Structure 1
Amino acid sequence: MTTTSERLTSTAGVLSEAFLLNYPQKAARYMEKIPAAEAASIFQQHPVPSGKAVWVFLSPGAADQILGKMPDKVVAELLAVLDANLGVALLGRLDEARQAQILACAHADIAREMRELLTFPEDTAGRLMQTRVMALNENITVEEAIRQLKAAGRTDTDHLFLLDDNARLTGRLAGNRLALTDKTQRLSHLALPMLLTVHTLDPKDEVVERLEAAKTDAVPVLDSDDNLVGVIKTAALYQDIKEELVTNMQTMVGASKDEKALSSSLFSVRKRLPWLQINLLTAFAAAAVVGAFEGLIAQFTALAILLPVAAGQSGNAGAQALAVTMRGLTLREITTRSWLRILLKEMSTGFINGVAIALTCAVGVWVWSQSLGLALVIALSMVVSLVIAGSAGALVPILLKKLGQDPAQSSSIVLTTVTDIAGFMSFLGIATLLSGMLPQG
């Protein structure tokens, strides 16, 4: 025979389960207000499916605290009944050690699905985001918000986000306003509009472009169901870009991105030698151009002395254009669609620089050789080769990126070939046309 106490306990349990099943939004708001340990206890008193709907409406901060108080096995059972996107959003905000413990308790198929969903493709917003994000319900008071932040142990309140009762992102909140506002004020009255949101699979290039345009220091990241799953902070994003720039500097000259200053000699040789061999083949192509003018050089030996000058200036000009274009592509200041604008800019830069260098070089060559023809040849070749080199420095990385290749890994090798051939061909070609003005010997 059951006692009155047992009947009351049973009735309370039935009512509690009915509350979770029939009023999940209100249940979520209640769970956010009570201590996380108490909320976790309530969930564990009922079958996992009973509380399934409540997790849809819990804000990230509260959900994370409650999960932290629940056994790994119970969380694994929860993942089995939740929508996959919501499940991975909850799991993704936990540290890796806890994720591993939970997945070890989950069914093999569930664990495999979660692991796949937790791994975002390279160069997407999902790879850039921080999953430790704090969001609050917009209908709670300032006093309740401060209590939730304290309970979560959060001190990084610069980027707080607000959700409606359906756990959909509605705005943002500057954390310092909480200390300066009446404690009975609702957060919705303090909300600032969202400047920008991105999705987990948005390309990194697009994220950087939109962040630059929005001029914000943090952007929330949503999954395919528009659940808030993380935040990208500008400072961290620029650090990532900085590291990418440094890596590109290495790969542009044929060094591996894996090589460090203190890497072993054998490792460095293994990474560099293949590119040196490729560069050797391209050098033979440039040498073939010189060989085609062997008779001209034998007749006018002064040309052989000036050949390195022509090739050197062409190479430097091309390298400058390449570096600027690579920086623009890495920082997403430009895209492959900007190719014509970049080409025209580098052509005009090359022409102006070429004229300036041509005047200086022509004077020097005339003083040295007393030959007006030789001075004219080197001057004209400087203008032509610098225009070609600047154009190549701009187009090579853009073309490689357009073709799906890594522009940093191959650009320098291709550019060296183009600039060497351009320098030799323009100098020796113009010398052939003006051979009547050149001094013999």
Structure 2
Amino acid sequence: MSVDRLEPAEAALTRRFLLDYPYEAARQFESMPASEAARLLTDQPPHAALRAWEALSADVALEVMEQLPEAMAVHLLAEAEPVVAVAVLNQMEPEPREAWLGRLNSEVALELRGLLAYADDCAGRMMDPRVQPLRTGVSVAEAIERLRQIRRDGLRELFVVDDDGRLTGRVEIQDLALSARDLPLADITRSVVAFASDLDPREDVVETLQKHPITALPVVNVSGRFVGVIRQAELMTAVEEETSLDMLTMVGASPDERALSSPLFAVKKRLPWLQINLLTAFLAAAVVSLFESTIAQFTALAVLLPVVAGQSGNAGAQALAVTMRGLMLREISLRHWPAVVGKEALTGLINGLAVAATTGLAVFVWSRSFALVAVIVLAMVISMLAAGLAGALVPILLRRFGQDPATASSIILTTVTDVVGFFSFLGIASLFAPMLSATV
């Protein structure tokens, strides 16, 4: 398979192998020169090459990508799972990484930059992402050959992952060197003493170190995939910094000065958003004013108006919290927005129907008006459906346009839920006015 171009029959057979057995294909590619693997992938359609390329170790995937035609390399980087693309990009120095990101679609590049940027003082920022694990199922001889390809100094142990890249164990270099070459790697694989999530704060990393005297702490993402290692030097630095922060806390100083910031600093940060919130409140008030005559005619509407707005606000806050958590923990990315929005819309609809049934029963007992029950039931379903949609869409749209979802999501969501809740309730009441006149 080292010819420059594959014959049609051989190319079809290789394509079938890549599609059906991507992990086996990845093992074969990892055992050959990157240029040879790149030639074989170049002869395949992008969708077939992508399956095998995603299964490669990050360092090999980078070497192969650099040997591919630029158009195909960009396609693989853009279409791969974000965690795979980020692992490959993490192997690069900042300048070439930015060059590759610049070749991508702006939306894809924005998403990958967000995944690459860990917050300060978290495990992801402390780790070395260029540490390559061994695959489970290989022999000691294959593991030693893989170690030679990695060519990293100062290694005392290597970590073992399954075909999906999830951390399964560790192998000490001494055990690897002294074992028979035909021995399965699983026979000398030891359990992992401890690990950290890439989003764990520094204090959790320090706490783990205090419980387990280790020199290297593996780091995994939210799906359990191995993403890097925190070395002993970084662990010691984290302990020293955490100790100094504890000393500052003892004398009443905030480490980041947020709690003890000056009043002027607090006003500077908070006042603009309070002013924006005031404008949105006036917008909601303007919607209510459109139906002033209807409210004056049916005073029961004024009593029930906060019920609709309050329930839709709570439903929207739930959807917002779940979506924000997914974005922050990297469980979801921008490309998952249809699934997230669809799920929250369906959830809002079902919850709206359930809450509307309870509300309708309570309103009937209170008012004995079927027309008023119909108004609040319809308004409740519409407003809670809209709340679910807004709770999912607002943070995703803010992230899409490069804004921090935590900054303005709640203000925008409150505006949407209030406006939709007021408009739906009072608008439907206006349509049902003749029936309301007969009963209320």
| Matched position secondary structure for 1:117 | helix
Cα distance change, pair 8–220 in 1 and its aligned pair in 2 (3 A): closer
| Aligned counterparts, 1:72-221, within 5 A | 73-221=71-219
2:233 maps to what in 1?
235
Following superposition, the deviation at residue 158 of structure 1 comes to 1.7
Following TM superposition, by how much is the alpha carbon of 1:231 offset from its aligned partner in structure 2, in angstroms?
0.8
CA apart distance, 1:114 = 1.2
**Contact persistence 2:218–2:226 (CA under 8 A):** yes
Please say if residues 137 and 162 of structure 1, whose CA atoms lie closer than 8 Å, have aligned partners that are also in contact: yes
Matched position secondary structure for 1:235: helix
Q: Distance in 1 between matches of 2:6 and 2:159?
A: 40
User: Match of 1:33?
Assistant: 31
Please give the residue correspondences for 1:24-423 in structure 2 after superposition, counting only pairs within 5 Å.
24-70=22-68, 73-242=71-240, 325-326=246-247, 396-397=252-253, 400=254, 404-405=258-259
Q: Is the 8 A contact 2:59 2:91 kept in 1?
A: no
1:197 CA drift (Å): 1.6
- CA positional deviation for 1:55: 3.5
Matched-pair contact (CA < 8 Å) for 2:206–2:242: no
Aligned partner letter, 2:188? L
Contact 2:26 2:56 in 1 (8 A): yes
Give the 3-state SS of the residue equivalent to 1:170 in structure 2: strand
Quick one: distance in 2 between partners of 1:147 and 1:6?
26
C-alpha deviation, 1:241, in angstroms: 5.0
Q: Deviations over 1:134-177 (max 9, x none)?
A: 21112111211222222233334323111123322110111232
Give 1:189 deviation, angstroms. 0.9
Secondary structure of the structure 1 residue equivalent to 2:218: strand
Structure 1 243/198 Cα, relative in aligned 2: closer, same or farther at 3 Å? closer
Contact 1:139 1:187 in 2 (8 A): yes
What's the CA shift string for 1:338-393, capped at 9, x where partnerless?
xxxxxxxxxxxxxxxxxxxxxxxxxxxxxxxxxxxxxxxxxxxxxxxxxxxxxxx5
Cα deviation 1:26-64 (Å, max 9, x = unaligned): 212222222222122222222222122224433344334
Corresponding residue for 1:258? none
Tell me the amino acid that sits aligned with residue 66 of structure 1: V
> Are 2:6 and 2:43, in contact at CA under 8 Å, matched by a contact in 1?
no
Q: Counterpart amino acid of 2:247?
A: M
CA distance in 1, matches of 2:242, 2:183: 45
Shift of 1:12: 0.7
1:14 aligns with 2:28: no
Q: 1:7 to 1:65 in 2, by over 3 A?
A: closer
Q: How far 1:76 moved relative to its partner?
A: 2.2
Deviation at 1:240?
4.9
Q: Please tell me the root mean square deviation across aligned C-alpha atoms, in Å.
A: 3.1
Larger radius of gyration, structure 1 or 2?
1
Going from structure 1 to structure 2, the CA distance change for 1:176 and 1:188 (only over 3 Å counts) comes to same
Amino acid across the alignment from 1:105: R
Counterpart amino acid of residue 171 in structure 2? L
CA contact (8 A) 1:141 1:186 kept: yes
Inter-CA distance 113–119: structure 2 relative to 1 (3 Å threshold) = same
User: 1:129 Cα deviation (Å)?
Assistant: 0.8
Give 1:20 deviation, angstroms: 0.7
* Gap change, CA 1:38 and 1:65, over 3 Å in 2: same
Distance 1:184 1:243, change over 3 A: same
Distance in 2 separating the partners of 1:72 and 1:156: 34
- Alpha-carbon displacement from aligned partner over 1:291-337 (angstroms, at most 9, x marks no partner): xxxxxxxxxxxxxxxxxxxxxxxxxxxxxxxxxx517x6xxxxxxxx
Residue identity matched to 1:174:
E
Aligned mates of 2:238, 2:4 — CA distance in 1: 60
C-alpha distance 241-128 of structure 1, shift in aligned 2 (>3 A): same
Q: Which runs of 5+ in 2 are unaligned?
A: 263-440
CA distance in 2 between partners of 1:6 and 1:167 (Å): 31
Contact kept, 8 Å, 1:72 with 1:101, in 2: the verdict is: no
Tell me the TM-score normalized by structure 1: 0.53
Structure 1, gaps ≥5 residues long: 249-324, 330-392, 410-441
CA distance in 2, matches of 1:173, 1:140: 12
Measure the CA separation in 2 of the matches of 1:211 and 1:25: 34
> How far, CA to CA, are the matches of 2:163 and 2:16 in structure 1?
19
Contact 1:133/1:231 (<8 A) preserved: yes
Q: Distance in 2 between matches of 1:174 and 1:97?
A: 34
Closer/same/farther in 2, CA of residues 67 and 178 from structure 1, 3 Å limit:
farther
Q: Is contact 2:58-2:84 (8 Å) kept?
A: no
What is the identity, as a one-letter code, of the residue corresponding to 1:121?
A: A
Distance 1:61 1:174 in 2: 21
Closer, same or farther: CA 108–63 of 1 in aligned 2, 3 Å: same
Percent identity reads 31
